[in-house]
């Protein structure tokens, strides 16, 4: 029984990271109807920026804030330079754009910071949380940050004019333009927010997986799985999906013989396929109905 509780708690803790990544994925999906394959690399690059700032002597939270601003601006710049010109292009062109972006960011990070792994500090410490052996303060911190992020997003989209405008632009672009919303900038803003959320995920997971250019590959696939499971249109779904994927991954790895650590990633992929076949809208997503 203790093994079970242990694994569930550990699953929730890693699930928090998947939830963060899934939030970023959902933000972009809402804005442009595509999954951003370079989301993980963008997060990795942001994390390196934070690391570099700390190397230069900036304290953790200062570096954290500067990184958020950098990522937000960077996300907007990527949209303006690369994806705005592709807005009316076919899906495959966009996918090629995402893959190119993935490769470019990955190589540039390797070029600047090389491929050796680096330690990344945690602001929460790594002692046991509230005297419990099951969960560390860093893990508790990750869960807390994810929930706060979800709450902030909820308030932003529900109660602010900008949030309302972004929702309108995502759901019906033509009508949004007819009430005077600059939908093109709303998409850029979505990219900026997604990049900043991804940066948070990167900075939180780096103390666990160590910092190196390929650190986000697995995380992004889990993030996709979480977003698909929760429903690609729902931020709440993304977070719940993240926690569920984290727990599921751990329990399967522990109890199903032969899976172990090596086969965890295929589990995430199998989960994506299963959800898309059985319930394409996910747990919290809105089924998309098109009149033809």
Partner 1 sequence: MTAMLNIKDLRAYYGQVQALHGLEFALNQGSVTTLLGANGAGKTTTLRAICNMVRSTGAIEFDGAPLTGRSTENIVRLGIAHVPQGRGTFTTMTVEENLQLGAITRKDRAGVVADIDRMYDHFPVLKQRHTQQAGTLSGGEQQMLAVARALMLRPRLMLLDEPSFGLAPLIVRDLFKILGKINREDKVTILVVEQNAQLALELADKAYVIETGRIVMSGSANEIANNEDVRKSYLGY
What residues make contact with partner 1 under the rule CB under 8 A? 161, 164-165, 167-168, 171-172, 174-183, 286
- What long-range pairs does 140-144 form, CB within 8 A, spacing at least 24? 140/13, 141/204, 142/13, 142/16, 142/17, 142/204, 142/205, 143/12, 143/13, 143/16
Other Cβ atoms closer than 10 A to 96? 13
Among residues 12 and 238, whose Cβ is nearest to partner 1? Answer: 238
CB nearer partner 1, residue 280 or residue 287: 287
**65: closest CA among 49, 44, 81?**
49
Residue placing its CB nearer to partner 1 in the complex, 165 or 189: 165
Residue 214 Cβ, how far from partner 1 at the closest point, in Å?
39
Give min distance, CB of 291 to partner 1, in A.
10
In the complex, the smallest distance separating the C-beta of residue 283 from partner 1, rounded to whole angstroms, is 17
- Minimal distance, residue 245 CB to partner 1, in Å: 26
Nearer to partner 1, 132 or 175 (CB): 175
Q: Bridge partners of 128?
A: 136
Of 8, 6, 31, nearest in space to 195 by CA:
31
Dihedral sign computed on CA atoms, order 244, 248, 249, 254: positive
Q: How far apart are CA 171 and CA 197, in angstroms?
A: 21
User: Whole-number minimum distance, CB 285 to partner 1, in Å?
Assistant: 12
Residue with smaller CB distance to partner 1, 182 or 274: 182
């Amino acid at each position: 029984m203790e093994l079970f509780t242990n694994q569930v708690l550990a699953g929730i803790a890693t699930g928090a990271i998947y939830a963060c990544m899934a939030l970023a994925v959902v933000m972009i999906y809402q804005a442009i109807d595509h999954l951003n394959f370079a989301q993980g690399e963008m997060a990795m690059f942001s994390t390196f920026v934070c690391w570099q700032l700390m190397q230069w002597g900036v304290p953790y939270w200062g570096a954290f804030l500067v990184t958020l601003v950098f990522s937000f601006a960077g996300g907007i710049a990527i949209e303006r330079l690369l994806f705005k010109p592709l807005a009316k292009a076919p899906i495959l062109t966009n996918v090629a754009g995402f893959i190119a972006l993935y490769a470019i960011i990955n190589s540039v990070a390797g070029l600047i910071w090389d491929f050796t792994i680096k330690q990344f500090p945690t602001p929460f410490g790594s002692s046991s949380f509230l005297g419990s052996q099951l969960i560390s303060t860093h893990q508790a911190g990750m869960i807390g940050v994810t929930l706060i992020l979800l709450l902030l997003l909820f308030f932003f989209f529900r109660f602010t004019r900008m949030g309302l405008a972004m929702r309108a632009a995502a759901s019906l672009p033509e009508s949004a333009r007819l009430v005077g919303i600059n939908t093109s900038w709303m998409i850029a803003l979505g990219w900026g927010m997604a990049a900043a959320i991804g940066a948070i995920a990167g900075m939180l997971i780096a103390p666990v997986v160590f910092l190196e250019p390929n650190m986000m590959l697995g995380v992004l696939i889990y993030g996709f799985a979480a977003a698909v499971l929760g429903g690609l249109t729902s931020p709440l779904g993304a977070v719940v999906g993240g926690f569920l994927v984290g727990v599921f991954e751990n329990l399967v790895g522990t109890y199903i013989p032969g899976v172990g650590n090596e086969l965890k990633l295929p589990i995430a992929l199998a989960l994506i396929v299963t959800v898309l076949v059985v319930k394409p809208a996910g747990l919290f997503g809105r089924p998309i109905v098109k009149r033809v």
